[in-house]
Amino acid sequence: GEHREGSFVCSACGYVAWSNPVPGAQAVIERDGRVLLGRRRYDPWAGLWDLPGGFLDEHEHPLEALDRELAEETGLSVHPTEFLGVWMQPYDGRNVLCLTWLATPTSGGERPGDDLVELRWFGPNELPADDELAFETYVEILSLWRARHEHA
């Protein structure tokens, strides 16, 4: 095969694999002025705090992926209240296009599942230190969340 700018071409069949970012959906789940974070079970960054979410399946709408991933990881059904933004997160040699929502729980009881070992609610002044967060984009995302609550 041959690497070109933004793609890899198979020398045997000519198939072109494009180097596109991988889409993911994640949520800042809020309740009573607190945010829900989960501790990662697996590497990369096992033991660090994560926003619940995950990768989209090929034919899945981002909000469907959000519902599925949050149910798997937290046991909660949630209602997305606002689209917070898009962050690009390097992950495992790729870039993840992280579509990020604010959301509130609507039903279910939180319990860690799938790739999380623990769930915990954090107030604006109780958030984990930057180096306890799994991804550097969470520093900005949680700072935005904190600022909203400090000025509410």
In this structure, the number of other CB atoms found within 10 A of the CB of residue 132 comes to 14
Q: Is residue 61's pLDDT more than 80?
A: yes
Amino acid in position 114? D
Q: Which residue numbers are catalytic?
A: 118
Q: 152 falls in which pLDDT band (50, 70, 90)?
A: low
| Percentage with pLDDT > 90 across the chain | 80
The pLDDT score that the predictor gives to residue 151 is 67
Tens-place pLDDT, residues 1-44: 776 778 888 889 989 888 889 999 999 999 999 999 999 999 88
Tens-place pLDDT, residues 46-57: 999 999 999 999
DSSP for 51-106?
-SEEEPPTT--HHHHHHHHHHHHHS-EEEEEEEEEEEEEEETTEEEEEEEEEEEEE
